[in-house]
Structure 1
Amino acid sequence: MEQLCEVEEIKHLANKYYSEVVNLRRYFHTYPEVSKKEFNTQKKIIEVLEGLSLNIRKAGGTGVIAELKGGKPGKIVAIRADIDALAIDDEISKDYKSKNKGACHACGHDGHTAILIGVIKVLCDIRHRIEGTLRFIFQPSEEEVIDGSGAAAIIEDGGLEGVEAIIGAHLWQPIEIGTVGISKGPVMAASDEFVIIIEGKAGHASMPHQTIDSILTASQIVVALNTIVGRDVDPMKQAVVSVGVFQSGHIYNAISGKAVLKGTIRSLDEDVRREVLMHIKKIVKHICDMAGAHCSLQKSSCTYVLNNDSKITDIILEAGKEVMGEGAHEVKPCMSSEDFSYYLQKVPGCFIFIGIGNPKKGIIYPQHHPKYDIDEMALLYGIEVMSNAALKLLSKLK
């Protein structure tokens, strides 16, 4: 009965702050900032949190860490939201359309930031009953990890010191509004970037026999890479190999002597991760050898497999069901990636998905689409679930 009363109080407080959270989400959407440049976003977060009796500091460069000490002793639990936008132009037709050219919250981080502020406001209102400490992490640079993950920067800045568990959430278009996905084990893929450089021999388009055609060689590599998942990976396991960049030549009547391919490897298993890279190396070398071209392959690890801790996930699923009923359920893993996985290399935790899909409201565009938007009712559900999850974790981890 006490737990049910607490859930009802959380719902009441979430509704109390809902309109403010919606307005904040729209503010962040209107003024998005890309990775490592979230200066105004950082300033706005601090401004909103001032006056709530929190310990607030800048962290990870352009991030923020705020800490709430409860009225009773206990463990430390962290909640993380990412705050950066994508480097694309916004194409939504709403009043809160991005005013910053070349920057757009097309992945929902505006909502993540607003939800966490809502969670803070709810929990501040009941701080006297909180058993322990809650650390709120507003993390920069989740989208751009090649030059340094925001999660790694937060960890280096002491963001996980003393933390017993960490939770995070993602607004997710593939699942419908009014539901949350909470699953154990691998739920998001490891991501690696690869760059292949092919050095051939340039020449006149009318005399291909005097050249080593880098475009033809690179094309054969692209086709061959697409056989790896179907022929070299255990069919009971998952992997994705995608080439996203093909750059070569600039004159129509010349054969280019150089080509560059860039792409990603996604996997849910570390053995598969290694095997895929081995096959890429083999394919590139053999095709370039046959063509007489020189090649180089560079790989950069971006994220780990995001592996939800079994014990923590059970607690979060219980908390989710108390709020959402059967709307809280398990979901299948996806091949997208998240640098939240960096935190899970250090402490146990759980990452959940908050459904936003709603065709009736036109919420049909996937993450990273320039017309991506959310059903803002998801903000309310996110505040309720994350607030209850945080309290339940502190009480269970005593």
Structure 2
Amino acid sequence: MRSKLMEMLESRKVEMIEIRRYLHENPELSFKEEKTAQYIIDFYKGKDVEVQSNVGNGYGIIVTIKGGKPGKNIGLRADFDALPIVEETDVPFKSKNEGVMHGCGHDGHTAYLLVLAGCLIQLKSEIAGTIKIIHQHAEEAPPGGAKSIVESGVLDGLDAIFGIHLFPIKPAGYIGYRSGYAMAGRTYFNLKIQGVGGHGSSPHLANDSIVAGAHFITAVQTVISRRLNPFEVGVITIGSFDGKGTFNVIKDSVELEGDVRYMTVETQQLIEKEVHRIVRGIEAEFGVSCELTYTADYPPLYNDPKITADVKASLESMNDPDIKEIFEGPMLSGSEDFAYYLEKIPGCFFYIGCSPKGVEKPYFNHHPKFDIDEDALLIAAKSVGQVVCNFSE
């Protein structure tokens, strides 16, 4: 099965590229991927598989491939939403939807997985176990699609789950992995501070919300510098301070928005506790009232150590000339809602190098000029196919 699958993938490389380019030209934002979802469903028409649509809180699609032999049940996931970005690349398949761009590689994720799934369907009689293909909507916009798909119960009974992400960290042919905590969790917060407005000449008759907000900005950074173990990773960012008013008027209210990143659940809990404590202290110290919205978007992504070691060993055994190196990468401070799958199902999320050829400093994901080396699509398909074969033995 392994050699058959690799030959089939090689023969369909052009198809992967064509699918990726079609999707790149026709991107859709999170929770609005109606046409993309229909394109995916149409791909499976006439194929001997079960297709479930509108899974979760949006356009999620689950395709079940039942193997001809008993074995493990595994899941393979690719996301298919785009970003609200005006594309600045100079490619003939540039986005036709102004202000929307596949600037993170999800077009490539979907393209490789469609072709891989098509090949696995053809080989289903030789597959041991069941494979669930997860075409996931809305990875980019919290609450995301993964959490709702997990909660739907459609993935209950899976023994392992796998996913990849295209990153221009290295050229095509380089595959990165990280055992244990691999990507950061993320929390959004919004703080509204209500004071008492007044004239700048009479501050004693007012209660300045800007001063209270400024104190919060300073105090909250001490959570990282003074409450967090220096060997742990945490970041608190204030991205917005809406306090514009008139130069001689004491503002009665302000609104702040921010972002918290952390690498472990323990750090997440500590930071949340301390932020709430600081807000209560500001209310007491400045006599203001505060309304705090604190929402954990995505948890830290945790790769099962045993399964990750198996993935590494499996990839290293491929002896494929297209694969140059399997390397252990650093923890990444970005977030990924694949973490919700890994909270319930042991698995591994790894990285496929895709830096465009001849580019010394490639643009990273989410940049208006982000692009990939399309050779990475075949690398992704073969590496995930290898993992499937390994777990089907």
CA distance in 2, matches of 1:132, 1:360: 42
In structure 2, do the counterparts of structure 1 residues 215 and 343 end up closer, same or farther at CA, with 3 Å as the change threshold? same
Of stretches 163-172 and 224-233 in structure 1, the one that deviates more from structure 2 is 224-233
Of 372, 385, 388 in structure 1, the residue corresponding to residue 383 of structure 2 is: 385
Question: Are the counterparts in 1 of residues 174 and 327 from structure 2 also a CA contact under 8 Å?
Answer: yes
Is 1:34 matched with 2:29?
A: yes
Partner of 1:332: 330
CA distance in 2, matches of 1:316, 1:358: 26
Matched residue type, 1:40: K
Question: Are the counterparts in 2 of residues 137 and 159 from structure 1 also a CA contact under 8 Å?
Answer: no
Matched residue type, 2:351: F
- The 5-angstrom pairing of residues 42-191 of structure 1 reads 42-58=37-53, 59-60=55-56, 61-146=58-143, 149-191=144-186
Q: Which runs of 4+ in 1 moved over 6 A?
A: none
Structure-2-length-normalised TM-score: 0.91
In structure 2, do the counterparts of structure 1 residues 293 and 316 end up closer, same or farther at CA, with 3 Å as the change threshold? same
The size of the alignment, in residue pairs, is: 388
Q: Secondary structure at the match of 2:15?
A: helix
Query: What's the RMSD between the two structures over aligned residues?
Result: 2.2
Q: Secondary structure at the match of 1:243?
A: strand
In structure 2, do the counterparts of structure 1 residues 280 and 114 end up closer, same or farther at CA, with 3 Å as the change threshold? same
In structure 2, do the counterparts of structure 1 residues 222 and 91 end up closer, same or farther at CA, with 3 Å as the change threshold? farther
Partner of 2:354: 356
Matched residue type, 1:20: E
> Cα deviations across residues 328-372 of structure 1 (Å, max 9, x unaligned)?
122121121111111122221111111123472376222222222
Matched residue type, 1:224: A
CA distance in 2, matches of 1:255, 1:374: 51
Partner of 1:231: 226
- Cα offset, 1:380, TM superposition: 1.1
Question: Are the counterparts in 1 of residues 175 and 353 from structure 2 also a CA contact under 8 Å?
Answer: yes
Unpaired segments of 5 or more residues in structure 1? 1-5
- The 5-angstrom pairing of residues 270-349 of structure 1 reads 270-323=265-318, 327-349=325-347
Question: Are the counterparts in 1 of residues 176 and 328 from structure 2 also a CA contact under 8 Å?
Answer: yes
> Cα deviations across residues 173-226 of structure 1 (Å, max 9, x unaligned)?
234432111221111122221111111223445655544333343233223333
Partner of 2:367: 369
> Cα deviations across residues 257-279 of structure 1 (Å, max 9, x unaligned)?
22111222211222211111222
CA distance in 1, matches of 2:373, 2:255: 40
- Cα offset, 1:115, TM superposition: 1.4
Q: Secondary structure at the match of 1:328?
A: strand
- Cα offset, 1:382, TM superposition: 0.2
Q: Secondary structure at the match of 2:317?
A: helix
CA distance in 1, matches of 2:75, 2:242: 43
> Cα deviations across residues 235-259 of structure 1 (Å, max 9, x unaligned)?
1111111222322335566443221
Q: Secondary structure at the match of 2:43?
A: helix
> Once the two structures are aligned, what percentage of the paired residues are identical?
35
> Cα deviations across residues 161-183 of structure 1 (Å, max 9, x unaligned)?
22111111111123443211122
Q: Secondary structure at the match of 1:110?
A: helix
Unpaired segments of 5 or more residues in structure 2? none
CA distance in 1, matches of 2:290, 2:41: 49
